[in-house]
């Protein structure tokens, strides 16, 4: 025999089938939309982060010193209370000193791959037009292991850049803007005014518009020559087998070699902050949808309490505890929430499958569709929020029901 | 609660109930009464005399503003609402003028309601008891019917069966025949008298003189006060 409170709750809901169905529908829509939108948003974030993080090193060492060297006075009196203010570290003009030994040292660490780079500005000239870009001098073989550049190539190859020292790899968007293709030549002017002619040997596409438009890759030796910084490396990119340990790893490397070492979380902090804000806004909106569904439940339970005042009074008069009355109406809300949750899960799954067939806008591969995340967390949080909204919405009328004075109702009826 | 140890089941001591307001309304005033096990008492009086109000005080449905109600010798005035609800569940059975059956439940389910709340019996035991109670009230084949499929008399008998579900020591009935015809009204009173003969304390409010004569004892109220309290037969003689 099912518990008394549940039995009465079912009886009340059966007695108001249409209103119950509408309330269940409200919760179902809330849960379904929550799952579909959360999945789409999380899928988009995952895709975007993966593109951003994988097309760049997980950890980047740059020729910048964040911690100034100890001052002579501090060195002379190490135990004294000496405070030297406004000391700024001097940036090394020669890039990362001993990069030649740092890279092999990093390579020897398990799960670590490193690639030396030299960044610098270039002006590309084509058909009388100038295009300011950020040029990255790379070791093509190593770069392919540190970033997803090799996989992002849509024409030509990194191997061609290794063979062709005067080669250049452009983003597909930039190439389209400049009107160049594989084999075409472009003039490149470095900051010092030195002009070279480079031949397009590859096109890449990351889907990150800014990167595809503004970053070009050239051979490291060629970049050193164009920038008039022979044998200089000002960045070392690192790829980790376990991306989750990037923060402690970067701190350890910076402590060991002294150069600023930024994990991807630091490099893309602003972007991550924007994603967090976006999450907040979207989850607030989705929460509001479930709140509206909660109002539907509040409405039906309030109506039942009004209609069943006499039944409540008789139950109270024969000795049914007031907490049992509360249980009856909270259970009614919970049953509506539960039914809506299960139906909403099914709806959310269907919506997610449908959205997963929609072509991804701007994808390199035309067959690529929207990435919709599906996880127990999404389904669980949608269900938990729906149940929370249902129970909260029913608790108010439930408490009102428990406060009904049986005598007032019985007197009114006689 | 023993019904045979000689202790009064219910004892009203200067019981009073006043409704607050700009002009306070006296519902019950200074009622002293003792109700023994196995007694069948009717409370009579004109409309507004405080019959139902006294019954609600005796059934712990209302709190007195003055005086005290003793249940099996124990004072009840300081008890919490939940404690009073617990006493009502275990020791009182209520029958009202209107049956107040839950419309969604079957007859058997309505009868089992107090048993399920008490949680003392298994499902099988509850069904068996409901069946036995309905059988004793001449309703053996109506267990699966819903209240709207019953006649007025059957509904009231179902309400009596529900009142007896937890085998209470006290049965309180507020105008239980008010919505019934003469034949059914008489049948209900016959049942109530039989319950008293079984050792229960039965207290009924009625304004029907003929039915009141079926009781052992009659308390007459006027303006909330007891104006007469004695054997029901003596009322008939004085009326005659």
Instruction: Please list every residue in chain B whose beta carbon sits closer than 8 Å to the beta carbon of residue A321.
Output: 82, 85-86, 117
- The answer to the question of residue A59 being in a domain is no
| Mean pLDDT, range A43-66, rounded to an integer | 85
Burial of B178 (0-12, 13-18, 19+ CB in 10 A): middle
Look at B117 and A321 and tell me if their CB atoms are within 8 Å.
yes
At A123-181, the pLDDT tens digits run 999 888 999 999 999 999 999 999 989 989 999 999 999 998 899 999 999 999 999 99
Give the residue with greater pLDDT, B217 vs A362.
B217
- % of chain A surpassing 70 pLDDT: 98
Spatial contact of A402 and A326, defined as CB atoms under 8 Å apart: yes
Residue B3 is predicted with a pLDDT of 43
A243: DSSP letter: G
Query: What tokens were used for B89?
Result: 């569940």
Give the residue with greater pLDDT, B6 vs B152.
B152
Pick the CATH number of B10-239 from 3.30.950.10, 1.20.58.100, 3.30.200.20, 3.40.50.300: 3.40.50.300
Residue A300 is predicted with a pLDDT of 87
Nearest CA in chain B to A15: B104
Phi, psi of B44 (to 5 degrees): -125, 170
Do A80 and A223 belong to one domain?
Answer: yes
Do A203 and A74 belong to one domain?
Answer: yes
HSE of B9, CA atoms in CB hemisphere, 13 A:
27
Q: Is the pLDDT of residue B120 over 60?
A: yes
Which residue shows structure tokens 């209370």? A81
Q: Is the pLDDT of residue A358 over 70?
A: yes
Average model confidence (pLDDT) across chain B: 89
- The answer to the question of residue A264 being in a domain is no
How many whole angstroms separate alpha carbon B51 and alpha carbon B27?
Answer: 9
How many whole angstroms separate alpha carbon B17 and alpha carbon B54?
Answer: 8
Cβ partners under 8 Å of residue A308, min gap 6: A12, A401
| Mean pLDDT, range A334-339, rounded to an integer | 94
Domain parsing of chain B, residue ranges: 10-239
Look at A407 and B61 and tell me if their CB atoms are within 8 Å.
yes
- The answer to the question of residue A392 being in a domain is yes
- Domain span at residue A117 reads 65-259
A230: DSSP letter: T
Residue A92 is predicted with a pLDDT of 63
CB atoms within 10 A of CB A383: 22
Helix (H), strand (E) at residue A237:
strand A235-240
| Mean pLDDT, range B6-27, rounded to an integer | 88
At B70-98, the pLDDT tens digits run 999 899 989 999 999 999 999 999 998 87
Q: Is the pLDDT of residue B152 over 90?
A: no
CB atoms within 10 A of CB A385: 23
Task: Give residue ranges of A with CB < 8 Å to any B CB.
Answer: 1, 4, 7-8, 11-12, 14-15, 310-311, 313-322, 324, 406-407, 410-411, 413-414
- % of chain A surpassing 90 pLDDT: 57
Q: What is the ipTM of this complex?
A: 0.88
- As a whole number of Å, the CA-based R_g of chain A is 32
Do A96 and A179 belong to one domain?
Answer: yes
Spatial contact of A33 and B127, defined as CB atoms under 8 Å apart: no
Do A108 and A245 belong to one domain?
Answer: yes
Give the residue with greater pLDDT, B2 vs A92.
A92
Average model confidence (pLDDT) across chain A: 89
Residue B240 is predicted with a pLDDT of 41
Residue ending a domain, among A259, A292, A322, is A259
**How does A153-165 read in b/e, with b if 16+ C-beta sit within 10 Å?**
bebbbbebbbebe
Instruction: Give B2's pLDDT tier (boundaries 50, 70, 90).
Output: very low
Helix (H, G, I), strand (E, B) or coil at A344: helix
Helix (H), strand (E) at residue A171:
strand A167-171
Instruction: Please list every residue in chain A whose beta carbon sits closer than 8 Å to the beta carbon of residue B162.
Output: 318
Do A222 and A187 belong to one domain?
Answer: yes
At B198-237, the pLDDT tens digits run 999 999 999 888 888 889 999 999 999 999 998 877 775 5
A369: DSSP letter: B
- The answer to the question of residue A349 being in a domain is yes
Residue A193 is predicted with a pLDDT of 79
How many whole angstroms separate alpha carbon A125 and alpha carbon A129?
Answer: 6
Query: What tokens were used for B63?
Result: 């709190």
At A266-316, the pLDDT tens digits run 988 888 898 889 889 988 988 888 888 888 889 888 988 988 888 999 999
The closest CB to that of B96, out of A316, A319, A414, belongs to: A414
Report the sign of the C-alpha dihedral through residues B42, B46, B50, B52, in that order. positive
Q: Is the pLDDT of residue B239 over 60?
A: no
Q: Is the pLDDT of residue B193 over 60?
A: yes
HSE of A46, CA atoms in CB hemisphere, 13 A:
12
Residue ending a domain, among A259, A288, A314, is A259
Nearest CA-CA distance, residue B102 and chain A, Å: 6
* Least confident segment among A221-225, A341-345, A357-361: A357-361
Spatial contact of B108 and B137, defined as CB atoms under 8 Å apart: no
- The answer to the question of residue A9 being in a domain is yes
Residue A54 is predicted with a pLDDT of 82
Helix (H, G, I), strand (E, B) or coil at A403: coil
The closest CB to that of B105, out of A11, A322, A414, belongs to: A11
Number of domains making up chain A: 2
């Amino acid at each position: 025999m099912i518990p008394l409170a549940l039995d009465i709750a079912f009886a009340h809901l059966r007695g108001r089938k249409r209103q119950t169905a509408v309330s269940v529908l409200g919760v179902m829509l809330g849960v379904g939309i929550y799952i579909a939108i959360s999945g789409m948003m999380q899928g988009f974030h995952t895709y975007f982060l993966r593109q951003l993080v994988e097309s760049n090193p997980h950890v980047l060492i740059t020729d910048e010193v964040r911690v100034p060297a100890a001052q002579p006075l501090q060195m002379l009196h190490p135990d004294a209370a000496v405070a030297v203010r406004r000391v700024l570290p001097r940036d090394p003009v020669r890039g990362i000193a001993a990069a030649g030994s740092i890279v092999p040292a990093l390579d020897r660490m398990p799960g670590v791959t490193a690639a030396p780079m030299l960044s610098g500005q270039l002006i590309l000239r084509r058909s009388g037009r100038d295009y300011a870009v950020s040029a990255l001098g790379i070791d093509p073989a190593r770069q392919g292991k540190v970033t997803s550049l090799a996989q992002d190539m849509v024409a030509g190859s990194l191997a061609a850049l290794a063979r062709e020292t005067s080669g250049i790899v452009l983003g597909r968007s930039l190439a389209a803007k400049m009107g160049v293709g594989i084999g075409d030549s472009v003039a490149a002017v470095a900051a010092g005014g030195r002009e070279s002619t480079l031949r397009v040997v590859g096109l890449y596409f990351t889907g990150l518009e800014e990167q595809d438009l503004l970053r070009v890759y050239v051979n490291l030796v060629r970049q050193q020559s164009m920038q008039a910084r022979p044998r200089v490396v000002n960045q070392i990119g690192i790829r980790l087998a376990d991306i989750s340990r990037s923060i402690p790893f970067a701190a350890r490397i910076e402590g060991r070699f002294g150069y600023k070492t930024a994990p991807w979380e630091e490099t893309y902090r602003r972007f991550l902050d924007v994603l967090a804000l976006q999450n907040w806004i979207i989850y607030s909106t989705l929460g509001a949808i479930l709140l509206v569904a909660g109002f539907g439940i509040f409405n039906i339970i309030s109506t039942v309490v009004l209609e069943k005042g006499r039944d409540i009074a008789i139950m109270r008069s024969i000795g049914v505890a007031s907490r049992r009355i509360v249980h009856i109406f909270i259970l009614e809300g919970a049953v509506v929430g539960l039914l809506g949750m299960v139906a909403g899960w099914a709806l959310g799954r269907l919506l997610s499958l449908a959205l997963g067939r929609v072509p991804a806008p701007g994808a390199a591969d035309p067959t690529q569709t929207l990435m919709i995340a599906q996880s127990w967390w999404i389904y669980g949080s949608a269900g938990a929020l729906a149940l929370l909204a249902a129970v909260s919405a029913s608790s108010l009328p439930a408490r009102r029901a428990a406060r009904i004075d049986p005598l007032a109702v019985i007197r009114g009826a006689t | 609660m023993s019904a045979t140890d000689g202790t009064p089941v219910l004892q009203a001591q200067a019981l009073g109930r006043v409704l607050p307001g700009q002009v306070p309304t006296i519902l019950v005033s200074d009622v002293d009464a003792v109700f023994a096990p196995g007694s069948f008492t009717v409370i009579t009086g004109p409309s507004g005399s405080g019959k139902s109000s006294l019954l609600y005080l005796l059934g712990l449905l209302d709190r007195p503003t003055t005086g005290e109600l003793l249940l099996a010798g124990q004072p009840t005035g300081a008890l919490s609402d939940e404690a009073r609800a617990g006493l009502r569940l275990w020791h009182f059975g209520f029958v009202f003028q209107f049956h107040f059956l839950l419309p969604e439940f079957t007859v058997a389910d309505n009868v089992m309601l107090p048993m399920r709340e008490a949680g003392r019996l298994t499902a099988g035991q509850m069904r068996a008891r409901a069946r036995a109670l309905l059988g004793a009230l001449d309703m053996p084949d109506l267990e699966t019917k819903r209240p709207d499929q019953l006649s007025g008399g059957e509904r009231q008998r179902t309400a009596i069966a529900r009142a007896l579900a937890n085998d209470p020591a006290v049965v309180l009935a507020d105008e239980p025949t008010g919505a019934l015809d003469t034949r059914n009204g008489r049948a209900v009173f016959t049942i109530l008298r039989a319950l008293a003969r079984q050792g229960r304390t039965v207290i009924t409010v009625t304004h029907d003189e003929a039915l009141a004569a079926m009781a052992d004892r009659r308390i007459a109220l006027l303006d909330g006060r007891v104006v007469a309290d004695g054997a029901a037969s003596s009322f008939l003689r004085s009326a005659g």
